[in-house]
Each structure stands twice: as structure tokens, then as C-alpha cells.
């Protein structure tokens, strides 16, 4: 009867399942997910830097660890990439230009931080700096990944040494500490602005899509 026919059909279908195409579900990791991961890393570094900066400024001592200390930027501090750009001008740049500026800035800032890591006198602070440098290196690589996923070329040339050849060392301890102070201050501003950049960018790029792919097996 009809019931026996249906049962026979189901048995035949089950016996031939290995020969049927397999339906696989896979997530394509595209620009959207790369941007989201970079945004998350930027926010993590913001949080990490708040703790590191407080510890390092206490290491420098007064007046650098005083809340109201806000000195003018010296000419020596110009070696560190400045984030003090008019926001309207910054937002008027293309996505490619902003990403390239972030990539170059963090590459240079990383060089300066690695110099600090070799100069501090406490093991705990060296450990914190080394951990932060590793995270910042991950951010540089992540920004490079975003640029590649969007079809943008990476900025040409290496980041370069922290100081150009012939640049004299700080003439005294206070000016050396001032260089370190401005390095942390600029890094905080870069991370704050980068978080906003990637937050806007992830709204422009659709998230990763889930695609269904047929893989023929046995045919």
C-alpha cells in the first residue's frame, strides 16, 4: 500500500545519503569582521593604556604624575607622530588615507615604546610595557589586514628608527621625561580617534555573510 511504498522510498534514500551532495555552512571572514576585530583591539588598548600610563607617570614622578600637569609641547616631542589634527579635516580624508595614517603612526609609536621598554628600571613596568608593545604590534598587523581586505595597499617603506640619524639625546633628565610624557599623551589621542574611525568604518562595511556551499561527493 501507500505506507509500504513510503517506507521503501525512505530506506532507499537513507542508503544513498553518502552519495548525495553535502551541504556545508561556512562563514567567510571578510572586511566587516576584520574591521570589527580591529575596533575591539583598539578599545582594549585604550583600556590597557590607561593603567600603563598611570604606572609609568608615577615612575617618572612629579610633576608628570600630577593630574593638572599640562605642559606645552616642545620641539623635541615633534618626533612622535602628532594626533592633533582638526577633526573636520581628518573626517574629510578618504578611508584609505586615514587607515594609512593610522598604520604609519602606530608603527612609529611602537618603535618609541620599545625604546622605553629597554630603559625603565623596574621589572614590573618592563613587563607591562612589553605586553602593551605586543598588543600594539597586533593592532598594526590588524590595520594592515583591514587595508588588504578593502583592496588598499600598505604604506611603502619601513617605519624607521625612533630618532633620525644625528638627533641628539635629551640634554637632561627632565627633557627625557618630557619626551616620554608626550609619547603617552599622543598615543592616548591616537587610540581615542582610531576607535571612532573604526566604529564609523564598520557601519559602512557590511558584516561577514554566511554562505551555503554545495560540495559534490560521490558524483
Assess contact for 202 and 40: CB atoms under 8 A. no
Convert the pLDDT of each residue in 61-95 to its tens digit: 999 999 899 887 776 656 678 877 788 888 899 99
Of 126, 161, 155, 119, give the one whose Cα is nearest residue 140.
155
Q: 182-204 burial, b if ≥16 CB within 10 A, otherwise e?
A: bbbbbbbebbebbbebbeebbee
28-161+170-204: which CATH architecture?
A: Up-down Bundle (1.20)
Domain ranges of the chain: 28-161+170-204
Condensed to tens digits (0 to 9), the pLDDT of residues 117-166 reads 777 778 889 999 999 999 999 999 999 999 999 999 998 754 444 444 34
For the question of whether the overall pTM of this predicted structure is more than 0.85, the answer is no
Amino acid at each position: 500500500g501507500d505506507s509500504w511504498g513510503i517506507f521503501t522510498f525512505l530506506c532507499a534514500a537513507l542508503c544513498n545519503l553518502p552519495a548525495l551532495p553535502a551541504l556545508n555552512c561556512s562563514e567567510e571572514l571578510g572586511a566587516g569582521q576584520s574591521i570589527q576585530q580591529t575596533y575591539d583591539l583598539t578599545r582594549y588598548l585604550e583600556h590597557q593604556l590607561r593603567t600603563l600610563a598611570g604606572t609609568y607617570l608615577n615612575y617618572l614622578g612629579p610633576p608628570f604624575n600630577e593630574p593638572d600637569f599640562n605642559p606645552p609641547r616642545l620641539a623635541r616631542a615633534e618626533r612622535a607622530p602628532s594626533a592633533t589634527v582638526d577633526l573636520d579635516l581628518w573626517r574629510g580624508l578618504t578611508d584609505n588615507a586615514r587607515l594609512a595614517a593610522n598604520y604609519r603612526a602606530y608603527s612609529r609609536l611602537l618603535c618609541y615604546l620599545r625604546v622605553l621598554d629597554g630603559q625603565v628600571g623596574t621589572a614590573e613596568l618592563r613587563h607591562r610595557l612589553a605586553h602593551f608593545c605586543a598588543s600594539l604590534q597586533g593592532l598594526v598587523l590588524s590595520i594592515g589586514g583591514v587595508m588588504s581586505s578593502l583592496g588598499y595597499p600598505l604604506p611603502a617603506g619601513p617605519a624607521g628608527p625612533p630618532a633620525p640619524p644625528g638627533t641628539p639625546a635629551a640634554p637632561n633628565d627632565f627633557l627625557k621625561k618630557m619626551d616620554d610624557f608626550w609619547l603617552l599623551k599622543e598615543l592616548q589621542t591616537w587610540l581615542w580617534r582610531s576607535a571612532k574611525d573604526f566604529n564609523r568604518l564598520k557601519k559602512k562595511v557590511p558584516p561577514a555573510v554566511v554562505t551555503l556551499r554545495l560540495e559534490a561527493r560521490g558524483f
